[in-house]
Structure 1
Amino acid sequence: MLFYRAPKPNLRFYATKIPPASSTPSPSNPNKRQPQDLTPSDLCSYWDTKPPNDAQLTFANKLFTPSNHGPIKLWSASKFRTTPLSSITPEVAFLGRSNVGKSSLLNAIMGREMCWTSSKPGRTREMNAFGIGGTKSGESKVVLLDMPGYGKSSRPEWGMEIMKYLQGRKQLRRTFVLIDSLHGIKQNDADILSLLRSYAIPHQIILSKVDKVLAKKKSQIKSGVSACSIQQLQSMLQDLKPTIQPNRRVSEGPGALGEILTCGAETLIGPGQALGVSAVRWSILSAAGLDGSLEQANIAPTPAPEFPAASS
């Protein structure tokens, strides 16, 4: 099993305002809808959970708004035994094949370029932790983990250390597995999902590069998205359900969370806001137990479930 470093931070900000959801047609084509008007129900699939509403998306964007206290780089570690043990802040980890768009998505989520992005696979070689929602007098509200990519240009030892983290990290609340929407679930993706089920590690699927599913060319999505393209996307998400949530009688463990998110991290739908990212932010907060009011974001995190002991 193979897994991939974070490049010099460029302090380019992503705006976090969320445009109101509507069914506004494209001015150039009344049969199409503007990408900024697409809702989570259009872009994602929810069957065990409910789609976030406008207020919840606004709350998520507000918590992820960059400030002087976040996002911040907390630590990097090449081995599980060197990760900080004293933290009680809830953590979520991001996994994906090399070049799946994980660093681009994390930058869009954090509203600032914190992760290196590269056309060359295998550039992330350590576990990199970023704190979100920090204040002058307090710790971060949630920690995002950027993991080395698996597949091409990765190394077996990276995978070993990542599995030690996923199995043994008590602060871990959920693992987000990024899948390329153009290529679907490849064999190494399936292997990762099987491992997560085997060790009962809470996980969820995010499809990257969904803008390329909604339009053949990046420039075309600006003119609007057709109802046919949205339906094709929904059909794709439906087809993935049996793979990520296999029959319990034949599966080796619990499947992924019953919602599939999608994103187009490099397709801006507003001043710096990327397609589908608000729903991803909300899911992160839900995983961390921060999906209530702003006051709830200051409540101490709930204890994490115990995972099986990490193997050496």
Structure 2
Amino acid sequence: MNTIPVCRRSASRVSSYTTIRALSSTPNPNSKRELKDLTPTDLCYYWDTKPPSPEQLAFADKVFVPSRHSPLKLWSAAKFRTTPMESLEPEVAFLGRSNVGKSSLLNAIMGQEMCWTSSKPGRTREMNAFGIGGTKGGESKVVLLDMPGYGKASRAEWGAEIMKYLQGRKQLRRAFLLIDSMHGIKQTDAEILRLFRHNAIPHQIILSKVDKFLARKVKQMKTGVTPASLERLHLLLQGIKPIVQPGPGASEGPGALGEILTCSAEAHIGPGRSLGIDAVRWSILSAAGIDGSLEGGRLAVKPPAAETSAAII
């Protein structure tokens, strides 16, 4: 039997080369990831819903592209009884503590400076409605409500008017509650969640200022996010889940929608784009029943349906 002579030295070189190549192709568990490369699965927590696909995120961004007819300031009201009752567009409301950065977030969502921002909390003193996705001679696809903040810099009577709106507004599809990711759920936030459940108001949680949670300093954020920081974020979201969606025996009503979003209006990841905003936009459209399909050449809007803690709109 003929044998093929093997050069031990050559074989050793091949083995060493293969080992080095394998090590170089193995991902470094400590390597950072750029903000623009983070997906909703990295930043958010979905357990009753599915993460949006890249196509769905692109569709949501397209709907929110500013134009001559979108976004538009539709109305302001200090009392529920003065809100326009004849409007038919689906509405979503944004609530949060007076220092949570709600106005900045809404500006990032709308892609334009529509809400007045200030370094002093509590500057929003009325309910302000903004129409999104409108065309010439056409109604808006969805209306965003900027509600007065609650907490230290708020007024007690605003809370009563906000609850009147949330309970009595037939066009309301979902209330988005903003929580500061650095401070977590405060007592006033927990009380709002209890009122949501007690009155069966469909609601969802969004953690704002997540860039400050992922990196303590701006310089650190510029170089990317470490896997350890993302893991710490996921642990935070998992810890919040039982609070926002308690079990049937521990709650007097339906809990929040089964997804927790995170975002930052200040962390820019490209022209006109901020961290996590596209996922928030998709959730707004989902709440309004807009899924990107077409009927008769127009965007299809599903009829309103009651949300439960496990519902996917």
**Residues 188 and 297 of structure 1: CA distance in aligned 2, closer, same or farther (over 3 Å):** farther
Match of 1:276 in 2: 276
Match of 1:163 in 2: 163
Match of 1:22 in 2: none
Map 1:70-81; keep pairs closer than 5 Å. 70-81=70-81
- Distance of 2:250 and 2:141 partners within structure 1: 38
Match of 2:94 in 1: 94
Equivalent position amino acid for 2:143 in 1 = V
Higher RCO (CA < 8 A, seq sep 6+): 1
Query: Which has the larger displacement, 214-223 or 278-287?
Result: 214-223
Match of 1:182 in 2: 182
- Distance of 2:86 and 2:219 partners within structure 1: 47
Secondary structure (helix, strand or coil) at the match of 2:250 reads: coil
Higher helix residue share: 2
Secondary structure (helix, strand or coil) at the match of 2:265 reads: strand
Match of 2:290 in 1: 290
Provide the TM-score with structure 2 as the length reference: 0.86
- Distance of 1:36 and 1:299 partners within structure 2: 30
Secondary structure (helix, strand or coil) at the match of 1:81 reads: helix
1:299 aligns with 2:303: no
1:30 to partner: Cα distance: 7.7
- Distance of 1:254 and 1:161 partners within structure 2: 22
How far does the alpha carbon of each residue in 1:3-25 deviate from its partner, in whole angstroms, 9 at most, with x for none? Answer: xxxxxxxxxxxxxxxxxxxxxxx
Which sections of structure 1, spanning at least 5 residues, go unmatched? 1-28, 307-312
1:294 to partner: Cα distance: 5.4
1:69 to partner: Cα distance: 0.3
**Residues 59 and 294 of structure 1: CA distance in aligned 2, closer, same or farther (over 3 Å):** farther
Contact 2:292-2:299 at 8 Å conserved across structures:
no
Secondary structure (helix, strand or coil) at the match of 1:282 reads: helix
How far does the alpha carbon of each residue in 1:26-65 deviate from its partner, in whole angstroms, 9 at most, with x for none? Answer: xxx9811110000000000000000001000000000000
**Residues 225 and 297 of structure 1: CA distance in aligned 2, closer, same or farther (over 3 Å):** farther
Contact 2:215-2:225 at 8 Å conserved across structures:
yes
Map 1:4-83; keep pairs closer than 5 Å. 31-83=31-83
How far does the alpha carbon of each residue in 1:226-285 deviate from its partner, in whole angstroms, 9 at most, with x for none? Answer: 111110000100000110011111211110000000001111001121000000000000
Equivalent position amino acid for 2:90 in 1 = P
**Residues 280 and 197 of structure 1: CA distance in aligned 2, closer, same or farther (over 3 Å):** same
Percent identity at matched positions? 73
Bigger-Rg structure (1/2): 2
1:300 to partner: Cα distance: 5.1
1:122 to partner: Cα distance: 1.1
- Distance of 2:133 and 2:294 partners within structure 1: 11
Secondary structure (helix, strand or coil) at the match of 1:189 reads: helix
